[in-house]
């Protein structure tokens, strides 16, 4: 099973604000908002949903193929990615790689300014194979939809992760992507937006998505499956965190853990026998992978190997990795 990751590649400029946004944003004056936050830390790191997911997959012992667009300043990022297949990367030398400026307060709330740069354009078109597993993460919204159509037409299962790009999709576009996807994954806020945009209630969404995964922050995650009249709902508890340092990138790490879990049971997944998959274990993989990102500053500054992951998994969940 080849793992194909589509999504943004971004230089993250991450800043820590030692206070609370709520103390400086007045709801009654929001129409004329003008605030400045003095931060105590500033770090430039490698990020973007596509880059983050691919990075975490390499830590879990896989070598994904990454698709995305970059600019003339990609060289530092490229050197960082020594274990990832970059044949799907397209460089636009007249533009810059996308950049995100992220301020995080003491409650882990975030305010982000985003410059898309080369992400406005298209990557190399993928050459899909029957047994591929694709994740379509936030990137160029038009390309996300094109990639979903390509996977669906070639009967290649894919995970659709709209993320912050969800507001770029029309009702028709989002409903189509959900219907095409093998798995639809969002956080709880994006789930509410999904329902608002599509007009689906929870029953409608489950009927169309087949597998719906919702991350719930420090409350863990929820995996729901509905195939015809059969339904499962699996609550995944969060893995124990030594110390929360930075929440940025934890969701992408979670997604990598889910993908890694699926690869261990790929025959069942490729046969679309989703109800037979051990979703509790797969969800726990995601939960534990997220912890490594939470415990380190930035989205790709944590390091471990598969053997360390296996040992921590067994200690955390009191069960064997495989």
Is residue 5 domain-resident?
no
Q: Which residue has the higher pLDDT, 108 or 88?
A: 88
Q: Alpha-carbon distance 54 to 296, whole Å?
A: 17
Is residue 16 domain-resident?
no
Question: From edge to edge, which strands make up the β-sheet containing 10-16?
Answer: 41-47, 10-16, 98-104, 110-115
Is residue 180 domain-resident?
yes
Query: What residue numbers bound the domain in which 70 lies?
Result: 49-90+120-317
Is residue 272 domain-resident?
yes
pLDDT at 48: 93
pLDDT at 265: 94
Is residue 8 domain-resident?
no
Q: What is the pLDDT of residues 228-273, one digit of tens each?
A: 888 899 999 999 999 988 888 999 999 999 999 999 999 999 988 9
Q: What is the pLDDT of residues 80-95, one digit of tens each?
A: 887 788 989 999 999 9
Is residue 35 domain-resident?
no
Instruction: Read off the DSSP letter of residue 319.
Output: S
228 by DSSP, 3-state: which? Answer: coil
H or E stretch covering 42: strand 41-47
Is residue 191 domain-resident?
yes
| Domain total of the chain | 1
Is residue 7 domain-resident?
no
Domain of 307: which CATH number? Answer: 3.40.1190.20
Closest CA to 258 of 290, 219, 218, 303: 290
């Amino acid at each position: 099973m080849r793992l194909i990751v589509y999504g943004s590649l971004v230089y993250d400029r991450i800043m820590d604000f030692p206070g609370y946004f709520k103390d400086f944003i007045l709801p009654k004056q929001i129409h004329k908002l003008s605030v400045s936050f003095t931060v105590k830390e500033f770090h430039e790191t490698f990020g973007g949903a596509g880059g983050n997911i691919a990075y975490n997959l390499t830590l879990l012992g896989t070598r994904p193929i990454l698709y995305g667009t970059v600019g003339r300043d990609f060289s530092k990022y490229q050197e960082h990615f020594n274990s990832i297949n970059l044949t799907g990367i397209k460089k636009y030398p007249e533009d810059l790689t996308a950049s995100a400026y992220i301020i995080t307060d003491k409650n882990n709330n975030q305010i982000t300014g985003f410059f898309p740069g080369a992400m406005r354009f298209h990557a190399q078109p993928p050459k899909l194979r029957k047994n591929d597993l694709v994740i379509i993460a936030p990137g160029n919204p038009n390309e996300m939809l094109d990639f979903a159509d390509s996977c669906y037409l070639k009967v290649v299962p894919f995970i659709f992760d709209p993320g912050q790009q969800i507001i770029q999709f029309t009702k028709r576009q989002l409903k189509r992507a959900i219907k095409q996807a093998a798995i639809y994954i969002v956080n709880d806020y994006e789930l509410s937006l999904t329902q608002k945009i599509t007009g689906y209630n929870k029953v409608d969404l489950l009927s169309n998505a087949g597998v719906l995964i919702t991350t719930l922050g420090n409350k863990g995650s929820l995996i729901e499956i509905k195939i015809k009249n059969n339904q499962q709902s699996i609550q995944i508890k969060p893995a124990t965190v030594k110390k929360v340092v930075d929440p940025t990138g934890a969701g992408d790490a979670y997604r990598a853990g889910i993908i890694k879990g699926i690869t261990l049971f790929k025959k069942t997944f490729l046969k679309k026998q989703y109800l037979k998959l051990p979703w509790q274990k797969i969800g726990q993989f995601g939960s534990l992978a997220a912890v490594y990102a939470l415990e380190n500053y930035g989205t790709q500054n944590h390091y471990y190997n598969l053997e360390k992951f296996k040992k921590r998994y067994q200690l955390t969940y009191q069960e064997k990795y495989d």
